[in-house]
Structure 1
Amino acid sequence: MTGEEPAAQDARGAGPGRARRLRAPRTAAAALVATGVLMIAGALLYDVVAVRVGQPARRWRAQIADELATRHLDDLAVLVGAGTATVLGGWLLWLAVAPGLRRWLALRPYGGTSAAIDRAGIGHLLADRAAGLDGIDHLRIRVGRRRVRVSLTGVAPPALVQRQLRDELDRVGLGRPLRLDVRTARGAAGVVEEHPDGGGADGGEGVAR
């Protein structure tokens, strides 16, 4: 579990039970891009200043200028370069708009403090709660961003397991409730599903055994 961080600032101000999804600061990606742009801009500026004071242009800049002036748009090298630039630009754009932090789920805000818990941590809490129940031979828990899937083998009633795990989830205090599905090896007759508001498809998953 983590306390308030720059990545968790978006959850501040949300009402009870309506914590917003956390966003990653992307510090490493931003620093990498800024460093690359600074190096390229510095090299170009140095060469331009050198030419202005009477020095010959660097061979690499003259070669690049000649290539840009002579190559056609349908040239293979131009197409590969354009494709690479497009993919790189799309990746950077995705980094800018994607929330990230898929491992973390926001807790209900308390006062001016925001916090989050790792999905694997939720899986361990549920596994510990289920360990105190009789009739469970094997348990597998997958915690997604919107749903918890529980697969078990044994004679334990799935409805009982579902109630116990639901109580444990409520104790965590998540900002957005997770849908809880408990399934057994007996097939459809051994399935207990919930359909709370906000249910939907899962994102990435954490696994606890």
Structure 2
Amino acid sequence: MSDGTPGPRPGSEESEPTVRLPSAVATGTAAGAGTAEPGHGATRRIPQQGEPGAVRARRFWSSRRVPAAVTAAAILALGGLFLYDVASVRAGRKAMYWRKKLADELATRHLDDTWIILGASVSAALGLWLLVLALTPGERSVLPMARRGPDAVRAGLDRHAAELVLRDRAMEVSGVRWARAVVKRRRIKLRATSHFRDIDDVRRDLTEAAERAVRQLGLARQPRLTVRLQRAEKGT
């Protein structure tokens, strides 16, 4: 489980608190989504996004500390160096060689020069990267979980934890020898191999177990599940 320390998107009205939940919640019916398994007690189903009564769960926003710190440090160092050189010239000293050289190069080189094009491309790519960091939520490793109401605590599930849950549920199916799950925001891919039983029966049981496990994760948006099962090679 992951907490919501990055906070909501800047400028949004969401300011409810976040809390770190135990990872065991994702493996049982305490996640609150889907129907209960026999013998595990009843659970109340949480409406998913787009359904009546559902509360929209927004993605968690990253604090972007490292890019912000690096950018601020670079701008501060470059600006301070230029300011020092300008002040030094105003005080009657000679300008630094690199600044005079830079000014001469910018004044004499044509716009179709290779170094001018390369520098402009790097600057544009850096600016685009900073814009993407500023306008996207980030925290792709945290999946928002469904909420019971507007005042409910915001919770997120770590992708790796979800993958472990799905893998363990798949390994519980009779006939499954190996399994691996890849969880993304909109899609879940589950791959497995079978070493005994009829492969169609194993595929049916594996699909049912995986769908049940996905519902019990309690995610705000149910990803599309893809199950791929093949017979294990002999001798492996």
Q: Is TM > 0.5 for Structure 1 vs Structure 2? A: yes
Map residues 54-65 of structure 1 onto 2, 5 A cutoff. 54-65=92-103
Contact 2:182 2:189 in 1 (8 A): yes
The code of the aligned residue for 1:125 comes to V
Distance in 2 of aligned mates of 1:170 and 1:76: 56
Contact 2:60 2:138 in 1 (8 A): yes
Distance in 2 of aligned mates of 1:74 and 1:149: 48
RMSD over aligned CA atoms reads: 2.4
Distance in 2 of aligned mates of 1:140 and 1:162: 14
Deviation at 1:176, TM superposition (A): 1.0
Higher mean C-alpha deviation, range 154-163 or range 69-78: 154-163
Please give the secondary structure, in 2, of the residue aligned with 1:45.
Answer: helix
Residue identity over aligned pairs, in percent, reads 37
TM-score where L is the length of structure 2: 0.69
Q: Which has the higher helix share?
A: 1
Give per-residue Cα distances to partners, 1:157-199, cap 9 Å, x unaligned: 323222222222222211111222223227xxxxxxxxxxxxx
Question: In the alignment, which of 25, 29, 43 is matched to residue 63 of structure 2?
Answer: 25
Distance in 1 of aligned mates of 2:92 and 2:223: 69
Distance 1:98 1:4, change over 3 A: closer
TM-score where L is the length of structure 1: 0.77
Higher mean C-alpha deviation, range 128-137 or range 40-49: 128-137
Tell whether 2:123 aligns with 1:85: yes
The code of the aligned residue for 2:73 comes to T
Distance in 1 of aligned mates of 2:121 and 2:228: 46
The code of the aligned residue for 2:116 comes to V
Give per-residue Cα distances to partners, 1:71-118, cap 9 Å, x unaligned: 222222222222222222222222222332222211123635222112
Contact 2:3 2:155 in 1 (8 A): yes
Please give the secondary structure, in 2, of the residue aligned with 1:157.
Answer: helix
Which stretches in structure 2 are left out of the alignment for 5+ residues? 17-48, 232-236
Deviation at 1:24, TM superposition (A): 1.9
Deviation at 1:153, TM superposition (A): 2.8
Which stretches in structure 1 are left out of the alignment for 5+ residues? 187-209
Deviation at 1:125, TM superposition (A): 0.7
Contact 1:151 1:183 in 2 (8 A): yes
Question: In the alignment, which of 139, 142, 152 is matched to residue 179 of structure 2?
Answer: 139
Question: In the alignment, which of 84, 87, 90 is matched to residue 52 of structure 1?
Answer: 90
Distance in 2 of aligned mates of 1:17 and 1:125: 25
